[in-house]
Amino acid sequence: MSEEINRRDFMKRATVTAVGAGLSLSALSARNVLGANEKVRVGVIGSGQMGIANMEAFLKHPQVEIVAVCDVYQPNLNKGLKAAGGKAQTYKDFRRILDRQDIDAVLVATPDHWHALMSIMACQAGKDVYVEKPVSTFVEEGKYMVKTARKYNRVVQVGMLVRSWIHTQEAVKLVRDGFLGQVHFVRAWTYGNEHPEGIGNPPDSAPPADLDWDLWLGPAPKVPYNWNRFGVGDRWSTFRYFWDYAGGEMTDIGVHRLDIVQWAMNVEGPTNIVALGGKYCLKDNRETPETLQVTYEYPGWVCVFETRRANAHELSGKGSGITFHGTEATLFLDYAGLRVYPEKRMLGKKEVDRAPAMQMDMANDAHVDHVANFLACIKSRQRPIADIEIGHRSSTTCHLANIAYRSQERLVWDVASEQLREGSAEAKKLLNREYRAPWKLSV
């Protein structure tokens, strides 16, 4: 029997789901916690595509006032000022935002290699933080972020907004409640086809006159300007395909998928990691693999994450998603909704479903509600739905895949101590790296 949940029932169930899945505040209650007269003054660091999208979500809440915008690239700074209504103060150096005593919270939407340091410095300056995912470019950065947030009692929300879709929360509850039976295999994937050019192969050149390239690089190694390394503008940002700044598809899309996997399965990380892949088809200058398959082992189950950028053939009719495979049913989850497909069993001579089929479609604006949860936690001082420790653990899971790929080793990870139990010195080296002077990590 197929059960299609209508919107009213969906919203009722979602309130229960939020509690059952351990949320600090559900999206439904968060919107009205702060009144229109209780202003939250926000400074924005990074006003590229993701920064602008976040600003739009923040400004849908009447209590938010964006008073400062920062970007090292003048065209993006101009866009940020326009998105803020033309009234914000503009800066090229993010430290000027942190110096301001009248700013309550900062939004960090820079390239990934800046996420950790800016968030840490913001916490030290007494600001609450909304930071884009992944939270870090290597594991040790994330540890520092958690320590700093706790030391200074700051609210740090990670932009893993998939957590704030009500159908995601319902999927988590179904898995945790045993609706699928014993889940022993999970698959997550993202496919596309960029063959043959990929992101192209532009030569190194002088940086544009309206870009502070040295400040854009920040703690990353000093290298010549390259259009793809910079990678921002009116296109899908390509900085994410270079190890100095990000971790490719693994940390860009993988962190969304694996965060939900670990949430639903109630774990903080894998114990064994194997990754294979490479650049086989694309002729561009990216460093990260275009094709990658990662196998994670957790106690009692296995998860596989796959990405490919030279073939877009869909899995189960979907180019991206997650499937949880249990003894009673399989649950498919993506941005649009969830579907439950029951396993079959024989009852006498008749084949029957082991569990009811189910369908739920997207019913809320996750981005707006994710920001609402952050704003509510600024007032309540509770930890948000995507707290920094959760974001760090999910980012670490992705970093471990990249370390396994780059070292070509099977890794054994101790989740409690956050250390490699098995892995070469070269693999362990990839857990950390030194910042370029004068930048440094400190709690």
Instruction: Establish if 402 belongs to a structural domain.
Output: yes
Label the pairing between strands 344-347 and 350-353.
antiparallel
What is the per-residue burial (b if ≥16 Cβ within 10 Å, else e) of 319-356?
A: ebbbbbbbebbbbbbbeebbbbbbeeeeeeeeeebebe
Amino acid at 216: W
- Rounded Cα distance between 402 and 425, Å, is 15
Residue 235's CB: how many other CB atoms inside 10 A? 9
Residues 146 and 204 in one domain: no
Cis peptide before 356 (omega within 30 of 0): no
Instruction: Establish if 147 belongs to a structural domain.
Output: yes
Residues 285 and 399 in one domain: yes
CB-CB contact of 305 with 258 (8 Å): yes
Instruction: Establish if 434 belongs to a structural domain.
Output: no
Residues 226 and 328 in one domain: yes
Phi and psi dihedrals of 145, rounded to 5?
Answer: -65, -45
Residue 35's domain is classified under what CATH number? 3.40.50.720
Domain that holds residue 291: 166-364+392-429
Residues 51 and 124 in one domain: yes
- Rounded Cα distance between 209 and 193, Å, is 34
The residue ranges of the chain whose pLDDT is under 50 are: 1-36
Residues 196 and 174 in one domain: yes
Instruction: Establish if 11 belongs to a structural domain.
Output: no
- Rounded Cα distance between 257 and 334, Å, is 9
Residue 183's CB: how many other CB atoms inside 10 A? 24
DSSP state of 315: B
Residues 170 and 294 in one domain: yes
Q: What is the pLDDT of residues 206-247, one digit of tens each?
A: 999 999 999 999 999 999 999 999 998 777 899 999 999 999
Residue among 388, 377, 347, 318 at smallest CA distance from 132 = 388
Share of the chain above pLDDT 90, in %: 86
CB-CB contact of 275 with 292 (8 Å): yes
In total, how many domains does the chain have? Answer: 2
Instruction: Establish if 10 belongs to a structural domain.
Output: no
Residues 120 and 182 in one domain: no
Query: Residues 11-19: contacts with CB within 8 Å, 24+ apart?
Result: 11/166, 11/363, 13/170, 14/166, 14/169, 14/170, 14/363, 14/364, 16/173, 17/166, 17/169, 17/170, 17/172, 17/173, 18/169
- Rounded Cα distance between 82 and 65, Å, is 14
CB-CB contact of 287 with 193 (8 Å): no
Instruction: Establish if 13 belongs to a structural domain.
Output: no
| 193, β-bridge pairs | 310
Residues 104 and 178 in one domain: no
DSSP, collapsed to helix, strand or coil, labels residue 191 as strand
Q: Looking at residue 345, what is its pLDDT?
A: 83
pTM: 0.92
Across the chain, how many H-helices and E-strands are there? 15, 20
- Rounded Cα distance between 385 and 382, Å, is 9
Instruction: Establish if 2 belongs to a structural domain.
Output: no
DSSP, collapsed to helix, strand or coil, labels residue 109 as coil
DSSP, collapsed to helix, strand or coil, labels residue 298 as strand
Show the tokens assigned to 401: 């895949």
Residues 105 and 124 in one domain: yes
Element (H, E) at 277: strand 272-278
Residue 332's domain is classified under what CATH number? 3.30.360.10
Q: Looking at residue 106, what is its pLDDT?
A: 98
Residues 113 and 193 in one domain: no
Mean pLDDT of the chain: 92
Q: Looking at residue 399, what is its pLDDT?
A: 98
Q: Which residues contact 64 (CB under 8 A, 6 or more apart)?
A: 39, 40, 42, 58, 375
Residue 271's CB: how many other CB atoms inside 10 A? 15
Amino acid at 23: L
CB-CB contact of 127 with 94 (8 Å): no
Q: Looking at residue 362, what is its pLDDT?
A: 95
State the greatest distance between any 2 C-alpha atoms of the chain, in Å, as a whole number. 77
Q: Looking at residue 9, what is its pLDDT?
A: 47
Residues 291 and 403 in one domain: yes
Residues 110 and 29 in one domain: yes
Q: What is the pLDDT of residues 10-47, one digit of tens each?
A: 344 443 334 334 443 344 444 444 444 589 999 999 99
Q: Looking at residue 346, what is its pLDDT?
A: 65
Instruction: Establish if 12 belongs to a structural domain.
Output: no
Q: Looking at residue 81, what is its pLDDT?
A: 98
